[in-house]
Structure 1
Amino acid sequence: MKSKRRDAFAPKEFPATLFRPPDKRGDDWPDEPDVRRAVTYFRDFIGQDEWKKRRNAAANRLYAASLGRVDETDRGRYFDESDVFGWYLFLAEAFIDHVWNFEPTFGSRVVPVFKAIGRGLDLLLSVDGVEERARRLVSSERRQPNGGLFELLVASAYRSSGARVKFVPERRGLSRTYDMDVEIGSRSFAVECKRLETSQYGERERAAMRELWRPSATGFSQNEQSAFCDVHFRIPIDRVPPAYLTEKSLEWLRSDMPSLLWSDDMSYGAMGELDLDPLREVLDDHHVLASSSRMLELLSGRYVRHANYIQLSRLKLAENPRYVHECDLAVLLRWESASPEAIDAKARDITTKLSEASDQLPAGRPGIVHIGFEAVEGDDVERARHRKIIERAQAFDPRGKPLEYVYCHYFVPESPPDQAWAFDETLQWVGIAPTGPHPLGETMLILPAEGVREGPHWR
């Protein structure tokens, strides 16, 4: 006998119409030829029948998460970690053909990458070994596709700078090699790429904040009290007493005042009644994507880029259950971890990745290392990271390897309330033992050359 719980998580076979583009596109939904080229390129490696299965699985996970039906052990993720590339391809395809399935927070990370790959696809197709590299990406590396996508972006950037590029074949069962050979003019380089994932420190902070806020959120909702709290911590989150926010909540409720303001050694912040009217006025005529930046803007009063939120709300969902039709209760926390210790911990050091990359470079040939990472922890963190990279890279010992340059690529995805996505990028390079000018110039990996301003994104 099947359990009701297992049936609730059973995958559904969605109709083809869920993924079918409209016959006519409105002016507010233009086609994106570069994204389409990349989607078609990767999809052809998968095959039509296999892609239908993987797309249906991605849609199942998206809608199950939207309805709160994802198993608690999966931490509410919108995607299955066994096929992250399938999720990426689903988002890119949704953006161009079935936008009702598009998830903007994750999509803002994916669509700019696909757009850049599509824009440079003609050059990429001239790279030796690119077909085998793409085939691995969509199949054996589907769990962790960020590294492979990063390699394609780096290869495309070198080709656009006039270099000849060749991917080095993978040697299974043998020691790992570098990623690509690059020849530009009379110079030749061995190039290794490393993709740095988001910090575990930040994940631990978010988990700790859920526990700190849970009693207050539960109490407010049980008392039918819509509330908004905005708190900025002066100490690391793991040093905040467990009852700290609960005590602030009780202090506000006992004060019989509309709001509470405070500033102490641990934090400063405000807590008070949340006004649902701005959201309700919009919902009178439109549906709003649940937990989107637009929803958060309407609840909190303003949009804050890369802010951390915890939201609890009572909703009546639209026909598409990812969208809100009515809301009569909302409890919202916006929080920032701004202590010097936390900022330093989140400004991850590149030394480990740089050491791994250097070890994979050959001993008798000039080498270059590219390290890419998302920069979404806030401008203070990125300033600290920038300083740390310069210090650690200049002090790095390649142990006899002729390492000439290290390039660091800061990727800054964003899902503003008035746009499907936005993207910033910063390029930082450090000479280790250069014998000539750095070969990539100021070429960005994702942003097109036109319209790029000088200086880092945090200025």
Structure 2
Amino acid sequence: MKLDWEDWLIPAKKCLDWFISEMGEEEWSRRRMTVADYFQGLKQVTLTEEDIQHGDFAKKFSPIAIYSDWISWYMYLVESIFLRQGCDDPSQSSRIYPFFAVIGGGIELLKKIEGINEKISTILNEKQNMPDSTLFELTIALFYAKKGYKVIFLEERKDQKMPDLKVSKGTEIFFVECKRFGKTTGYAEEERLEWQRRSKHLFNAMRIQKIPSHADVIFKVPLAETDEFLLGRAFTAYVKSNKINDGSILSNHQIDFRAYPLDIDEFNRKLSNAPSRPNSPQMIYDLLGKFDIQGNYTLLAGPSRIDSINPDDKLFVLNDFYGAVHEVYSAQWESISDESINYKAK
């Protein structure tokens, strides 16, 4: 069933307005600009020849999120729907919009719940910076309230473990502890960093060989147990043995490795017809002819044409679309080691 505008956009805007009113317009302007400044800084990152030859791609792996102020990042994404069309990152916003829509649709009920002011203060606390759990608590509290339960947010205590909610109806009383899975595990984040250390040597090898390429890498052991230069050496050996022209797999006890050249001319034809946001699923699909929503992709592209939406407004970020590139390298990786699977399992 197709959702109408009123089904989620208007409630999401109501939630945003509530948060802004509680935060204060001046404070919101400051924190929103911090979000914009972060991304404006990423736009200015360029790689020197020395960076490339030494495999120093670190700045190219800056996260598309504001780790230091999550709630302001979330609020920016929702606000952009209405004020800055084209400024978005679907992989981030798709998990945020439902919370804002649900909360916005039940604001009047939430405002009547005892302890709500403290919860809103918590979610907007820049220093605490843990909004996900509180967003979840608000939605759970709202579901109980809609079912006719009296709901109370219980105050946290440093000296005693407390549930999050007290809910009651008639003679029934329940204490509710709200638990949700984190977006990623600590191991997954460490593994991502290990991949970055190794992939930069892979991309450097591709550039030295002057072959715009894509590599598929399967790690059979934990990434941290492999040599940091393994992928760069694997690609070089792969090219020298002419495997890159037949698509065969280079395999040992640590990895399975396969690579193939990319058709930049065909890629540029697609970008010319429909410019794409860098590193987006659409760009990966245009480049590779496929996209796995569960896949781990890394793409480095040197643009020769960038189309920007309202580039003179500093609050417009994530608003660049590549219309052509002069070089491009990509990789998809997966770890199938028992340690990786077990530590990332939910």
TM range (shorter): 0.7 to 0.9
Structure 1 SS opposite 2:162: coil
- Structure 1 distance, partners of 2:287, 2:170, is 56
User: Is residue 292 of structure 1 aligned with residue 269 of structure 2?
Assistant: no
Structure 2 SS opposite 1:314: strand
Q: Which amino acid aligns with 2:38?
A: R
2:31 pairs with one of 31, 46, 54: 54
2:330 aligns to what?
Answer: 332
Structure 2 SS opposite 1:55: helix
- Structure 2 distance, partners of 1:300, 1:239, is 29
| Identity between Structure 1 and Structure 2 (%) | 24
Q: Provide closer, same or farther for how the CA distance between residues 112 and 224 of structure 1 changes in structure 2, counting only shifts above 3 A.
A: farther
1:201 aligns to what?
Answer: 187
8 Å contact kept, 1:37–1:118? yes
Q: Provide closer, same or farther for how the CA distance between residues 129 and 221 of structure 1 changes in structure 2, counting only shifts above 3 A.
A: same
2:247 pairs with one of 236, 260, 269: 260
Q: Deviations over 1:11-33 (max 9, x none)?
A: xxxxxxxxxxxxxxxxxx96711
- Structure 2 distance, partners of 1:220, 1:75, is 17
Select between 310-319 and 300-309 the one with higher mean Cα deviation.
310-319
2:174 aligns to what?
Answer: 189
Structure 2 SS opposite 1:82: coil
- Structure 1 distance, partners of 2:246, 2:143, is 52
State the 1:112 CA deviation. Answer: 2.1
State the 1:282 CA deviation. Answer: 2.7
Select between 85-94 and 304-313 the one with higher mean Cα deviation.
304-313
User: Is residue 106 of structure 1 aligned with residue 92 of structure 2?
Assistant: yes
TM-score, normalised to structure 1's length? 0.63
- Structure 2 distance, partners of 1:309, 1:153, is 32
- Structure 1 distance, partners of 2:44, 2:63, is 12
State the 1:333 CA deviation. Answer: 0.8
8 Å contact kept, 1:61–1:78? no
Structure 2 SS opposite 1:225: coil
1:179 pairs with one of 161, 164, 178: 164
- Structure 2 distance, partners of 1:156, 1:344, is 34
1:400 aligns to what?
Answer: none
8 Å contact kept, 2:217–2:256? yes
Structure 2 SS opposite 1:265: coil
Once the two structures are superposed, the pairs formed by residues 387-406 of structure 1 within 5 Å of their partners are: none
8 Å contact kept, 2:212–2:261? yes
8 Å contact kept, 2:277–2:283? yes
Once the two structures are superposed, the pairs formed by residues 133-282 of structure 1 within 5 Å of their partners are: 133-139=119-125, 143-170=129-156, 175=160, 177-197=162-182, 198-256=184-242, 257-262=244-249, 263-282=251-270
- Structure 2 distance, partners of 1:180, 1:234, is 44
- Structure 2 distance, partners of 1:234, 1:45, is 50
State the 1:75 CA deviation. Answer: 6.7
Once the two structures are superposed, the pairs formed by residues 353-368 of structure 1 within 5 Å of their partners are: none
The count of corresponding residues between Structure 1 and Structure 2 is: 318
Structure 2 SS opposite 1:100: coil
Structure 2 SS opposite 1:229: strand
Q: Which amino acid aligns with 1:274?
A: L
1:35 aligns to what?
Answer: 12
For structure 2, the residue ranges without an aligned partner over 5 or more in a row are 47-57, 312-318
Q: Provide closer, same or farther for how the CA distance between residues 74 and 243 of structure 1 changes in structure 2, counting only shifts above 3 A.
A: closer
Q: Provide closer, same or farther for how the CA distance between residues 78 and 244 of structure 1 changes in structure 2, counting only shifts above 3 A.
A: closer
- Structure 2 distance, partners of 1:75, 1:144, is 23
Structure 1 SS opposite 2:218: strand
- Structure 1 distance, partners of 2:128, 2:72, is 7
TM-score, normalised to structure 2's length? 0.82
8 Å contact kept, 2:216–2:331? yes
Q: Deviations over 1:132-175 (max 9, x none)?
A: 3112311356522112112112111222333221112345x654
Q: Deviations over 1:327-356 (max 9, x none)?
A: 121110100112222111111xxxxxxxxx
Q: Deviations over 1:45-87 (max 9, x none)?
A: 1122221222122111123224438xx6997234444322111
Note the aligned Cα RMSD (angstroms): 2.8
Q: Deviations over 1:201-222 (max 9, x none)?
A: 1112111112222222112123
State the 1:176 CA deviation. Answer: 5.1
Q: Which amino acid aligns with 2:329?
A: V
State the 1:223 CA deviation. Answer: 3.8
Q: Deviations over 1:279-313 (max 9, x none)?
A: 32232133211111111121222110131122222
State the 1:278 CA deviation. Answer: 4.6
**Structure with greater contact order relative to length (CA < 8 Å, sep ≥ 6):** 2
1:8 aligns to what?
Answer: none
- Structure 2 distance, partners of 1:187, 1:233, is 53
Q: Deviations over 1:249-287 (max 9, x none)?
A: 123311345243214433334211012345322321332
- Structure 1 distance, partners of 2:142, 2:260, is 51
2:102 aligns to what?
Answer: 116
